[in-house]
Structure 1
Amino acid sequence: MARAPLMLACLLAAAAPASGTEPTIPGVENPARARIDYMLKCQGCHQPDGTGNAVNTPPLKNEVARFLSVEGGRAFLVQVPGVASVDLGDERLAEVLNWTLHRFDSAHLPKGFRPYTAAEVARLRRTPLRLDRVERRNQLVSRFPE
Structure 2
Amino acid sequence: MMKTLAPLLIAVLPTSSLWAAETKPPLTAEQREQRAEFNYKMFCRGCHGPAGEGEKAVPHMNGFVGHFLKFEAGRNYLVQVPGSANAALNDEQLTEALNWIVMNISGDSLPENFKPYTVEEVAKLRQEPLFEAFEFRKKLLNDMLQKGIIKELPAQPLK
Alignment CA distance shift 1:29-1:78 (3 Å) = farther
> 1:108 Cα shift?
1.5
Alignment of 1:139 onto 2:139 = yes
Runs of 4+ in 1 over 4 A off after TM superposition: none
How many Å separate the matches in 2 of 1:138 and 1:121?
22
Larger Rg: 2
> Which residue is 2:60 aligned to?
59
> Which residue is 2:39 aligned to?
37
> Which residue is 2:51 aligned to?
49
Report the 3-state secondary structure (helix = DSSP H, G, I; strand = E; otherwise coil) of the residue aligned with 1:37. helix
Bigger relative contact order, structure 1 or 2 (CA pairs below 8 A, ≥6 apart) = 1
> Which residue is 1:112 aligned to?
113
Q: TM-score, normalised by structure 2?
A: 0.70
Q: Which amino acid aligns with 2:96?
A: E
Q: TM-score, normalised by structure 1?
A: 0.75
Q: Which amino acid aligns with 1:125?
A: R
Alignment of 1:129 onto 2:115 = no
Gaps of 5+ in 1: 1-23
- 1:59-118 per-residue CA deviation (whole Å, 9 max, x = no partner) reads 110111111113400100000001000011101100110000111114222222110011
Q: Which amino acid aligns with 1:135?
A: E
Gaps of 5+ in 2: 1-28, 151-159
> Which residue is 1:95 aligned to?
96
> Which residue is 1:79 aligned to?
80
> 1:29 Cα shift?
6.4
- 1:34-81 per-residue CA deviation (whole Å, 9 max, x = no partner) reads 110100010011111110123x21011011111111340010000000
Structure with greater helix share of residues: 2
CA contact (8 A) 2:52 2:61 kept: yes
> 1:143 Cα shift?
2.2
How many Å separate the matches in 2 of 1:70 and 1:118?
19
How many Å separate the matches in 1 of 2:63 and 2:45?
16
